[in-house]
Structure 1
Amino acid sequence: MRQLTYDGMPIPGLNDLVRTAIRLHPAPGEPRPDESHLGGPLLWPSDEPWPECPVTWPPDPDASDDAWKSGHRLDGPVPVMVSAAQFFRGDFPELPFPEGTDVLQILFCPMEHDSPRHQGPAVRLVWRDSGEVEHIADPPPAPEEADAALLPVPCVFEPCSIDELPRLCDFPPETRAALGIPEGAGDDPEGWPELGQYSKIGGWTAWSATERADLDCRECGAELRQTIALATEEHEVGCGCEVTEGEPAGWSFHRRGVLNVFTCPADVTHPFKVRID
């Protein structure tokens, strides 16, 4: 990696800051339930109830984020969730699959919900063993009141890998101390590689529209790690792939941003957090 500096000083441990992300390069398609995708049919067992929005009032402490406020009537029927994404271990071994699972399913309640950090869909993660699914359920229709901007177009992936460096706000404390970076400083070093907006697995968070959020695990205190990013727009940055970018999934998150999912590195089943940036 080329030498990068901060205020003329070499950055110690630069190579240790590199994270390899998997760019998804979603493209409209017709995925099957046994394939990885955005917005396509899920490998959901017919004998398991289809999930409903996890947001209740008062907020459920086991919901996807703290202090959600519902985007729908709380005295009416609870909306069903819709398929947002599905990832199989065979396609994306980089994901932190718990032992005995080989597929991650992400579902949205397709309405705006308010939290202290952002507005967006309520989110549910499901880790399962695909071998235990004997019969696949037909998904129910999306709620009539669903926000069309949160209903994705089914997409398949053309993934590639890309190395990323963090924004200054994500530098570890020892690096900031060694460089004498003052508290509250937020400008990246001159010539620092850009973190674009694109859907990916892993990597670093761009923090392009919001300040870095509290990412401590509510259960064990470990710092949560960027796991999934689902972007409104797929920017042509960094990887050099000849893939048409734009808005293939058709969804649009708050401020046309990126919906980031952070999970606990100690135990991925601990409560996760969602931040739209």
Structure 2
Amino acid sequence: MDLTTPPRPFDLLGDFPELSAYARPAVRLHPRRGEPTVAQSSIGGPLLWPADEAWPLCYLDHDDTSIEPYDAALRLRHQEGKIEGMRGRTGYLDFTAQMEHRRTLASSLVDAAGIAYGADEPRPLIPVAQMYSCDVPGLPFTDRFDLLQILWCPRDHVNTRNLAPHCPAFQVRWSRADPTAALVTDPPEPDLCNGEYLPAPCILYPEVVTEYPDMRNLPEPLEHALRGWHRDEDEDEEEWSTAYSFDTALAPGWKAMGHGMYWGIIDPFPVVCECGAEQLPLFTADSSEFDGGTGSWRPVEEAGSGGLLQNPVGVTIGRAYTLQLYFCPESETHPCRSVMS
């Protein structure tokens, strides 16, 4: 299946040809519910993980804003998938009703689980993304690696170096795939989680698009010109152009590389590695594939699908934010950093 971004509704380079110097390719991953295998690129799917390699653990301190038993959250996620399926592929999904249903059921399962909540020994991470370089063009370090795997701890973390607060904590693994090796078939699972951080198994349908920076990262004269681009006459002069930020420059949804996401809750700042190099966007986890302001990015093949495909992964970051993972281009051994925006 191919998923294709519609042509952008505005001629950005026709009006601002100087922006071509800032263009970067990004890969929209287009995750859609399915049953991926270890041989496929996926979100929330099984990992091609060698049996002789230890499964990664989270050694960080947790400060949970929401908690529930992991196995109960998994059952609930699958139940929600059945509810969505019965509603069909058209019609708007009642998000408020769905979340209330989830909280009510999760609460009853927490009461029955009897897990020692206070214990904070290291917990297993869960798979978030597996990307083969043959599927996702432009991944870094392909001279040495052909597989990028991203895991996270599905709980909240605060005041932890290199991490955005109140969100999952990433770990990144670069490797060269060996499908002939003995593999982990039953990875360990955490006992507790925030159910909002459990990605549903999704197959990827990657598509390369062109992105441009958040306008606040551009030279001031160009930023000023863009703020007035296709802006309604009654809008405040200080408002940004949604035609640029939401319809043209930055693709929404789960993606790799590019310019990351629009900085919506904090002002943009350089993400700098300990070595002094500026880090670059590697992976973006999003709370939706599109919303009311970014509907023009809905794939051509899914036009008219309503809101049901708005969040196929089923992850919500904060108040429907995004979580961006940055890497150091100097070395894969340098720590990645994450920013919530």
**Match of 2:324?**
260
Cα distance, 1:54 vs structure 2: 4.1
Q: 2:11 aligned to 2, 23, 28, which one?
A: 2
Look up the SS of the partner of 1:255 in the other structure.
Answer: coil
Query: Does residue 247 of structure 2 align to residue 247 of structure 1?
Result: no
Query: Does residue 165 of structure 2 align to residue 118 of structure 1?
Result: yes
Q: In 2, Cα distance between the equivalents of 1:34 and 1:268?
A: 23
Matches within 5 A, 1:145-160: 145-160=192-207
Structure 1 pair 15–163 and aligned structure 2 pair: CA distance change class (3 A): same
* Partner amino acid, structure 1, of 2:158: D
Structure 1 pair 54–102 and aligned structure 2 pair: CA distance change class (3 A): farther
Structure 1 pair 265–186 and aligned structure 2 pair: CA distance change class (3 A): farther
Structure 1 pair 266–192 and aligned structure 2 pair: CA distance change class (3 A): same
**Match of 1:274?**
338
Q: In 1, Cα distance between the equivalents of 2:26 and 2:287?
A: 18
Cα distance, 1:45 vs structure 2: 0.5
**Match of 2:62?**
70
- Decide which structure has greater strand share: 1
Q: In 2, Cα distance between the equivalents of 1:96 and 1:274?
A: 17
Structure 1 pair 246–238 and aligned structure 2 pair: CA distance change class (3 A): closer
Look up the SS of the partner of 1:93 in the other structure.
Answer: coil
Q: Is the 8 A contact 1:37 1:85 kept in 2?
A: yes
**Match of 2:89?**
none
Q: In 1, Cα distance between the equivalents of 2:299 and 2:263?
A: 22
Query: Does residue 262 of structure 2 align to residue 210 of structure 1?
Result: no
Look up the SS of the partner of 1:13 in the other structure.
Answer: helix
Cα distance, 1:227 vs structure 2: 1.4
Q: In 2, Cα distance between the equivalents of 1:37 and 1:233?
A: 16
Q: In 2, Cα distance between the equivalents of 1:91 and 1:32?
A: 14
* Partner amino acid, structure 1, of 2:273: C
**Match of 1:80?**
124
- Decide which structure has greater helix share: 2
Q: Is the 8 A contact 2:28 2:251 kept in 1?
A: no
Look up the SS of the partner of 1:163 in the other structure.
Answer: strand
Matches within 5 A, 1:44-59: 44-55=49-60
Q: 2:31 aligned to 19, 26, 31, which one?
A: 26
Q: CA RMSD in A?
A: 2.8
Structure 1: 5+ residue runs without aligned partners? 56-68
Cα distance, 1:48 vs structure 2: 0.8
Q: In 2, Cα distance between the equivalents of 1:180 and 1:248?
A: 34
- For normalisation by structure 1, the TM-score amounts to 0.80
* Partner amino acid, structure 2, of 1:207: W
Cα distance, 1:132 vs structure 2: 7.4
**Match of 1:226?**
281
Structure index of larger Rg: 2
Q: 1:13-39: CA deviations, max 9, x gaps?
A: 311111221111110000001110001
% of aligned pairs identical? Answer: 29
* Partner amino acid, structure 2, of 1:2: D
Structure 1 pair 222–133 and aligned structure 2 pair: CA distance change class (3 A): farther
Structure 1 pair 186–269 and aligned structure 2 pair: CA distance change class (3 A): farther
**Match of 1:37?**
42
Residues paired across the two proteins, number: 252
**Match of 1:192?**
244
Report runs of 4+ in structure 1 exceeding 4 Å deviation.
Answer: 72-75, 178-181
Of the two structures, which has the highest relative contact order with CA contacts closer than 8 Å and spacing of 6 or more? 2
Q: In 2, Cα distance between the equivalents of 1:117 and 1:77?
A: 21
* Partner amino acid, structure 2, of 1:192: Y
